[in-house]
Structure 1
Amino acid sequence: MYRHASRRLIQALGDGGRRRSFSTDLPAASSEDAAFVEAWRKVAPSIDPPKTPLAFMKPRPPTPSSIPSKLTVNFVLPYQSEISNKEVDMVIVPATTGQMGVLPGHVATIAELKPGVLSVHEGNEVTKYFVSSGFAFIHANSVTDIVAVEAVPVDRIDPSLVQKGLADFTQKLNSTTTDLEKAEAQIGVDVHSALNAALSG
């Protein structure tokens, strides 16, 4: 309900109901690139213009006129791809503002992730990952890209190591004297507390 209301509001407020173009929309990207090349040729006609970032970007897939039944998810880490172009029913991400559920047709959003559980729902099957941090890029075309610094399936986490780590970092937090050591210890406590909550929840 809120999703449809926000779309109507955006249409009412923005350019008389016309959809605002994004940098990755092909017509807008082509015209901006052509304008840059034209301006370059006026200044330095004997030198070939450099390629702009738009030349390296793929055009954004069009936003469908109706909401699809599935959400397409990509989930990547710096060293591997966990999920690639998988159609699912929903994902729940641990955003810094709280747990956020993403369904097909979700409004375009960028969400910063905090340590917590990312769950991927496909029918009755739910796959859970613990993520340390990262970002979720939710596009208007029912595609969600999730980029995490580190992630591990929740069922591979050792509870005894989590408890030991939490105790160690709590002790360090209480005994350190410098701001840097306190900050590092606090991060350790936060991450291990989130791990502990992931295992108990």
Structure 2
Amino acid sequence: MFRRATTLLGRPLLAARARRFSTDLPAAPTADSQFVEAWNKVVPNLDPPRTPLAFMTPRPATPSSIPSKLTVNFMLPYSSEKSGKEVDMVIIPATTGQMGVLPGHVATIAELKPGILSVHSENEVTKYFVSSGFAFIHANSVADIVAVEAVPVDQIDSSLVQKGLQEFTQKLNSATTDLEKAEAQIGIDVHSALNAALSG
């Protein structure tokens, strides 16, 4: 069964994957024609299921030259902080470490951790504290950043951060269940990152 699935399209599965992720797909793919053709040979009386390709739009073509600016879309569940903003650079607090994104950056998906997201535009630097989320860096010099929560660093009250850190430390020390310990540890991690953001 596995062997048949890997050669259903008449070629190895790896070759099919490489084709789907290329940047020169047709303008508006509605279905994977080779899959539909193979399906109709095996089950001619049943309509083929819609493949992921039917829901996807083609990836924008990689520009022939690197643009001078990075286009940033920075969104929260309840608002859009930046939409189509052209900037020089963004520094993202990724789980793998601080990640600087310039125009022409390789396509990447990064998970955000609690920390500072800084947006650099000419001589201006705007800093946000983000709790978590994801950054989608596209090959066409567009960065989509989606955070669960974010606040400008200059709006953070350091006394409340210290108070919250103490409260969550006490909760961790008095926690009796795994759930209570996990919730307290998350609170400590976020408040520690907030504290580091204010002191750094």
TM (norm. structure 2) is 0.81
| 8 A contact 1:24–1:57 mirrored in 2 | no
% identical equivalent positions: 80
Could you tell me which residue of structure 1 aligns to residue 102 of structure 2? 103
Equivalent-residue separation in structure 2 for 1:101 and 1:178 (angstroms): 39
Equivalent-residue separation in structure 1 for 2:148 and 2:22 (angstroms): 25
CA RMSD of aligned residues (A): 2.4
| 8 A contact 2:31–2:54 mirrored in 1 | no
Q: Relative to structure 1, is the Cα distance of residues 22 and 44 closer, same or farther in structure 2, using a 3 angstrom cutoff? A: closer
1:191 is aligned with what amino acid?
A: V
* 1:41-120 pair list within 5 angstroms: 41-120=40-119
Q: Relative to structure 1, is the Cα distance of residues 24 and 161 closer, same or farther in structure 2, using a 3 angstrom cutoff? A: farther
Structure 2: runs of 5 or more not aligned: 1-14
Structure 1: runs of 5 or more not aligned: 1-14
Greater fraction helix? 1
Equivalent-residue separation in structure 1 for 2:194 and 2:63 (angstroms): 38
SS at match of 2:65: coil
| Offset from partner CA, 1:32-71 (integer Å, 9 cap, x none) | 7111222333344444434322222221111012211111
TM (norm. structure 1) is 0.80
- Equivalent residues, number: 183
Equivalent-residue separation in structure 2 for 1:89 and 1:44 (angstroms): 53
* 1:96-175 pair list within 5 angstroms: 96-175=95-174
Equivalent-residue separation in structure 2 for 1:49 and 1:85 (angstroms): 38
| 8 A contact 2:161–2:195 mirrored in 1 | yes
SS at match of 2:38: helix
